[in-house]
């Protein structure tokens, strides 16, 4: 797995050991990260479900409706890759709208 930033980004990388120490020192941080992980897991599962249950057009439209601002900032080829579609397919969808 890797992270690819689309915009200027700052990130913090923690080892598992450092994270465990942080949890012990600041219990509220553990809850904060748990909530983030729960939301991330749910989003991941929904993405998988949508990829198997929706047509390419439905998948694209659902993503655009759910992420209108983000989808305007991302190049079409990257959006296509994320959705498991081709840039040409997305172009055809856009032409029909």
Give the distance, in angstroms, between the CA of residue 96 and the centroid of all CA atoms in the same chain. Answer: 26
Supply 63's token pair.
């993503």
Do residues 52 and 60 lie in contact, with contact meaning Cβ atoms separated by under 8 Å? no
6 occurs within a structural domain: no
22 occurs within a structural domain: no
2 occurs within a structural domain: no
18 occurs within a structural domain: no
Closest CA to 80 of 54, 56, 48: 56
Its domain, for residue 44, covers 27-96
pLDDT above 80 (res 33): yes
Q: What is the pLDDT of residue 3?
A: 78
88 occurs within a structural domain: yes
Q: How many independent structural domains does the chain possess?
A: 1
Global pTM exceeds 0.75: no
Q: What is the pLDDT of residue 82?
A: 87
Give me the DSSP letters along the chain.
-----SS--------HHHHHHHHHH-HHHHHHHHHHHHHHHHHHHHHHHHHHHS-HHHHHHHHHHH-HHHHHHS-HHHHHHHHT--HHHHHHHHHH-
Q: What is the pLDDT of residues 41-86, one digit of tens each?
A: 999 999 899 989 999 999 999 999 998 998 888 889 999 998 999 9
7 occurs within a structural domain: no
Close Cβ partners of 6 (under 8 Å, ≥ 6 residues apart): 73, 74, 78
């Amino acid at each position: 797995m890797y992270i690819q930033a689309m915009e200027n980004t700052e990130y913090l990388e923690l080892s598992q050991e450092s994270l465990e120490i942080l949890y012990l020192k600041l219990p509220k941080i553990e809850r904060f990260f748990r909530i983030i992980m729960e939301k991330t897991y749910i989003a991941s599962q929904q993405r998988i479900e949508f990829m198997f249950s929706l047509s390419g057009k439905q998948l694209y439209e659902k993503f655009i409706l759910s992420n209108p601002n983000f989808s305007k900032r991302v190049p079409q080829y990257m959006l296509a890759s994320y959705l498991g579609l081709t840039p040409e397919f997305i172009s055809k969808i856009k032409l029909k709208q």
